[in-house]
Amino acid sequence: MTLEGQTKDQIAISRLREYEPPEGFYVAESGGKDSACIDDLVVRAGVKFDAHYSVSPIDPQETRDFLKQFYPHVRWDFYARGFWRQFLSEGPPMRMSRWCCGFIKEAGGTGRIKVMGMRRAESNARKDYQVYQPHCKLEHTDWLLPIVDWSDNDVWQYIREHNLPVNPLYAEGYKRLGCVLCPYESAKMTQRHIERFPKIAHNWRSAMDHYFDKRIERGTPLPYQTKEDFWQWWISRK
């Protein structure tokens, strides 16, 4: 129980009811544990919503299969069809320049209130997130984060209490799910992803090679002797 005499899920439901717009919420689904909680909470809150998954070429197949099986009501949006073409223009995403997030995960919901499962406990970058906040770039687009103040334990407890399905990748020891070879991952986790998801890793490597060649064609070669040097630099996460 909280100081207000309500459980955390009751507070989350109150937040959803307080901010419900006439047209309903745009609910962003990812196939992760936080999304599982959000999906259940919007249903329990009785608010109007439509749920969306931004299909990503760098998401594990297990995530897609999981969503198809347990969340058939979620709409699949294909904003990232041109991801690899964009790569040739932008180059590999980096921790300080992750153009991929806006291209894939943050696409959709413009002009609406987007309900998402992001939480302060996930990272220092999110420690100042508020329950309700305007999008940092898009006008008339706001974020509602009903479980922003939940801990990992809160999330797993809710999942157990409500018997929610969870992505099978968690059973393999993954703490967080997302894009394979995300530049925010450590070098150790990057190597694990390369071994666990070889097809996606191959696609990344192929894009890196093509970008290396394209830079030479443009007359702006990279400061690496070989494609292998370029690849090893990127996956080292330095």
Look at residue 159 and give its three-state secondary structure. Answer: helix
pLDDT at 3 over 70: no
Among 137, 159, 177, the domain-final residue is: 177
78 falls within a domain: yes
1 falls within a domain: no
188 falls within a domain: yes
8 A C-beta contact, residue 64 and residue 72: no
Amino acid at 51: A
Q: Among 6-15, 149-158, 172-181, whose mean pLDDT is lowest?
A: 172-181
Given this model, what pLDDT does residue 10 score? 95
70 falls within a domain: yes
pTM for the predicted model, two decimal places: 0.89
Confidence band (pLDDT; 50, 70, 90) for 23? very high
Confidence band (pLDDT; 50, 70, 90) for 171? very high
Q: Do 125 and 203 have their domain in common?
A: no
With pLDDT > 70 as the criterion, what percentage of the chain qualifies? 97
Q: Do 170 and 185 have their domain in common?
A: no
8 A C-beta contact, residue 29 and residue 59: no
Structure tokens of 9?
């899920």
Q: Do 230 and 185 have their domain in common?
A: yes
pLDDT at 9 over 80: yes
8 A C-beta contact, residue 227 and residue 209: yes
Domain CATH number, residue 15: 3.40.50.620
Q: Do 145 and 231 have their domain in common?
A: no
Number of structural domains in the chain: 2
Q: In what order do the strands lie in the sheet with 113-115?
A: 75-77, 49-54, 25-29, 113-115, 142-144, 132-134
Q: Do 22 and 123 have their domain in common?
A: yes
Q: Do 173 and 187 have their domain in common?
A: no
- Domain housing 194: 180-238
* Sign of the CA dihedral with 95 first, then 179, 103, and 13 last: negative
77 falls within a domain: yes
Structure tokens of 183?
């530049």
Among 133, 162, 177, the domain-final residue is: 177
Given this model, what pLDDT does residue 1 score? 52
Q: Do 74 and 162 have their domain in common?
A: yes
Q: Do 191 and 148 have their domain in common?
A: no
With pLDDT > 90 as the criterion, what percentage of the chain qualifies? 76
2 falls within a domain: no
Q: Do 65 and 93 have their domain in common?
A: yes
For residues 169 and 5, the model is more confident at 169
Cα–Cα nearest to 74, from 101, 39, 115: 39
pLDDT at 163 over 80: yes
Given this model, what pLDDT does residue 136 score? 67
pLDDT in tens, 117-154: 999 988 887 888 899 988 767 678 899 999 999 999 99
> Cα(134)–Cα(130) distance, rounded to whole angstroms?
10
Among 141, 158, 177, the domain-final residue is: 177
Given this model, what pLDDT does residue 140 score? 80
Q: How large is the average pLDDT for residues 201-228? A: 96
Q: Do 61 and 21 have their domain in common?
A: yes
3 falls within a domain: no
Q: Do 172 and 185 have their domain in common?
A: no
pLDDT in tens, 185-194: 899 999 999 9
pLDDT at 2 over 60: no
Q: Do 225 and 155 have their domain in common?
A: no
